[in-house]
Amino acid sequence: MHELQPYETYRPLLISLAYRMLGSVSDAEDIVQEVFLAYYQLDRQAIAHEKAYLAKMVTNRCLNEQQSARKRRETYVGNWLPEPDVSYSDYQPVNPADKLEQTESITYAMLVMMENLSAIERAVFVLRETFDFDYASIAEIVGKSEANCRKLLSRAKEKLGSLQGTPVFHNERAMELAGAFIRAAETGDTAALVGMLTEDAIMVSDGGGKVRAAIFPILGRERIAAFYEGLARKGTQPSSMDYIPVRVSGQIGLMLLQDGQATRVLTFQWDASGEKIDRIYLVMNPDKLSHVTNSDAALS
């Protein structure tokens, strides 16, 4: 076997696993790199199931990382949101080895909700729902019995609730939604935007104390509209800023580029009807956008 074959074969999957467990691109990449450095020091002839063994190594490191990550988030300024996995469209060619494994089983909105799960519940949910590991493999990876893993998955699904069944992408209204946000931000005309939001829509923004952002969620479509009207009145949208429709973990979103650099990524969660938006997530923390580039808009 070629020395680099496991790295080339399993790296995209393992980064996807680590990202969905941690919500951090940089942490996911670091952990996978550490795992392969350790893995190549082992006597691999004795490893019967390479994929499961590597998944176990990554999972264990992620479980350890989650403990310190939760402590860091206790002192985080404002709302904490996951780093976005951004791609322009399904039609733009992207090297599969350079981006997360494509799946819509765990959307961006679900990543946000998964912060309510315990570390072990999240691990079982990701391994089962995203990567379709059987319960025997999951039990071996997380060190629990198969029966316990089934209970953990059931508990995780209960916590995530109806979010699992909501639409993630609405092709017919995607460009309409993007246009409504662009008009609202640039001109203050929020009529179209208001019409696409549920009455109790919520907008959550993450600036991490690095840029100006709302410290608390903005509740209700009227207040969200007022927020964008205020941006337009203050002239806070630079003329050098371009809006580009993108996918964010399988959901419609917008990427805002200023002088070619991603400065904001917005993604939206549809309501159960698939006709209106009830959640808006706005990532502005530059540390969480450093992996997003204008050239490929994908994780590198």
Side chain identity at residue 104, one-letter code = E
Do residues 16 and 161 both lie within one domain? Answer: yes
Could you report how far apart the first and last alpha carbons of the chain are, in Å? 26
Do residues 280 and 182 both lie within one domain? Answer: yes
Last residue of a domain, one of 165, 185, 217: 165
Edge to edge, what strands does the sheet with 86-87 contain?
Answer: 86-87, 241-248, 251-258, 261-270, 277-283, 197-206, 218-219
SS3 39: helix
| Tens of pLDDT, residues 159-199 | 888 665 555 555 566 677 777 888 887 788 888 888 889 99
Do residues 182 and 146 both lie within one domain? Answer: no
Do residues 188 and 140 both lie within one domain? Answer: no
Domain presence at residue 263: yes
Domain presence at residue 25: yes
Do residues 178 and 160 both lie within one domain? Answer: no
Domain presence at residue 142: yes
- How far apart (Å, rounded) are the C-alpha atoms in residues 77 and 288? 14
DSSP assignment letter at 293: B
Tokens 């679900």 belong to residue: 110
Do residues 209 and 187 both lie within one domain? Answer: yes
Do residues 257 and 150 both lie within one domain? Answer: no
Q: Of 252, 90, 244, 283, give the one whose Cα is nearest residue 177.
A: 252
Residue 171 pLDDT: 55
Do residues 222 and 237 both lie within one domain? Answer: yes
Q: Find the helix packing angle between 25-39 and 5-22, rounded to 10°.
A: 140
Domain presence at residue 89: no
Which domain range does residue 208 map to? 171-288
Do residues 53 and 121 both lie within one domain? Answer: yes
Report the CATH number at residue 126.
1.20.140.160
Domains: count for the chain? 2
Q: What tens-digit pLDDT sequence spans the chain (300 residues)?
A: 455 688 888 999 999 999 999 998 889 999 999 999 999 998 888 888 899 999 999 999 999 998 888 878 888 899 999 999 887 654 343 444 334 444 455 788 889 989 889 999 999 999 998 888 999 999 999 999 999 999 999 999 998 886 655 555 555 666 777 778 888 877 888 888 888 899 999 999 999 988 888 889 999 999 998 888 887 776 555 555 677 888 887 677 888 888 778 899 998 888 877 778 888 999 999 999 988 865 444 332
Domain presence at residue 219: yes
Residue 169 pLDDT: 57
- How far apart (Å, rounded) are the C-alpha atoms in residues 99 and 192? 34
Predicted TM-score of the model (pTM): 0.83
Do residues 144 and 176 both lie within one domain? Answer: no
Last residue of a domain, one of 125, 140, 165: 165
- How far apart (Å, rounded) are the C-alpha atoms in residues 208 and 76? 6
Last residue of a domain, one of 165, 181, 211: 165
Tokens 């993007």 belong to residue: 178
Q: Of 168, 200, 156, give the one whose Cα is nearest residue 270.
A: 168
Residue 94 pLDDT: 41
- How far apart (Å, rounded) are the C-alpha atoms in residues 30 and 12? 13
Residue 105 pLDDT: 57
